[in-house]
Amino acid sequence: MIRLTEIKLPLDHDENAIGQAIINKLNISPEQLHSYNVFKRGYDARKKSAILLIYTLDVEVDNEAQLLSSFEKDQHVKVSPDTNYKFVAHANSSIKERPVVIGFGPCGLFAGLVLAQMGFNPIILERGKEVRERTKDTFGFWRKKALNTESNVQFGEGGAGTFSDGKLYSQVKDPKHYGRKVITEFVEAGAPEEILYVSKPHIGTFKLVTMIEKMRARIIELGGKIRFSTRVDDIHLD
C-alpha cells in the first residue's frame, strides 16, 4: 500500500475528486488504481475564500514497487506504515491465574479489553455502578444535589469524562499508532466512522454511554468479568 500525503482539494469537491487526484499525482491510468482509504483529513483555512481539505490517503495500485521507486525523492509518496495493533502475548489455554484491573475508566476499559482479546479473562474491579445506573446518580446530583459518593461524575463505569462530548485529540506523539487501536475500538462500539480520519475527532455528546456498554459486553463475551460497586482499599500480597 502507498501512502500519499498533502493531497489538497477544495472544500466542496465532488465524490470522484479524490480518485482523480490520486491518478494525477501518481500519473497512472484509472485502471491501475484499485482502491483507496482516507487515513486523515485536515483543513487549510488560511484563505477564507478558498478553504482546502488536506488528505492523507492509503492507496492500492498496480506496480506499487515500481511507482515507489519512481517517486523515491517525493516525501509525499511513501510506503504506508503498518498501523495494526500488535498484541504483546496470547494466553495459553491452560492458564489459571486471571489478571485484575482496578477501575473501569478509559485506562481500565482498554486494559481489560486488550487482556480479554489476548485471552487472559481479566477481572475488573470498579467502585462505582454500571453506566446507566451511574447516569441516574449523576443527574440526581446535578438536579437534586443528592450526592452518591461511589457513583457520580467521577466514579463508575466509563470513568471521568463519560458525560463529556468525547474529544479524542491530544498532543501526545504516537509513533506506534496505539491511538489507532483506541479509535478503531470506538468505531466498532458505535462511534462515528469519521473519527478514524478527521484531524480533530470527537464522538458526540451522550454516545459514550452506549459505546461503553458495548465494550463491556465485548469484554464479558471474551471471558472477562466486571465487578461493580467493588472498591479496592488495600492489596495483600502472599
Ligand X SMILES: Cc1cc2nc3c(=O)[nH]c(=O)nc-3n(C[C@H](O)[C@H](O)[C@H](O)COP(=O)(O)OP(=O)(O)OC[C@H]3O[C@@H](n4cnc5c(N)ncnc54)[C@H](O)[C@@H]3O)c2cc1C
Using the minimum distance from each CB to ligand X, give the nearer residue, 102 or 187: 102
Residue partners of 150: CB distance under 8 A and separation at least 6: 127, 128, 129, 156, 229, 231
Could you say which DSSP state residue 49 is in? T
Query: Between 63 and 102, how does the x/- string for binding to ligand X read (CB under 6 A)?
Result: ---------------------------------------x
Piece in contact with ligand X (CB under 6 A), picked from 21-29, 157-165, 178-186, 210-218 = 157-165
Q: Which three cell numbers stand for residue 181?
A: 487501536
Q: How far is the CB of 214 from ligand X (least distance, A)?
A: 17
Nearer to ligand X, 9 or 209 (CB): 209
Residue 179: HSE in the Cβ half-sphere, 13 Å Cα cutoff: 16
- 176 contacts ligand X (rule: CB under 6 A): no
Buried b (16+ CB within 10 A) or exposed e, 40-53: ebbeeeeeeeeebb
3-state helix, strand, coil in the chain (%, to 5): 30, 20, 50
Q: Using CB under 6 A, count the residues that bind ligand X.
A: 22
Using the 8-state DSSP alphabet, how is residue 197 labeled? T
66, 70, 164, 199: which one binds ligand X (CB under 6 A): 164
Nearest distance from C-beta of residue 59 to ligand X, angstroms? 31
Residue with Cβ nearer ligand X (26 or 195): 195
- Order of strands across the sheet that contains 77-79: 33-44, 52-61, 2-10, 77-79
Give the nearer residue to ligand X in terms of CB position, either 103 or 224.
103
C-beta closer to ligand X: residue 3 or 202: 202
Positions that interact with ligand X (CB under 6 A): 102-108, 125-128, 155-156, 159-161, 164-167, 231-232
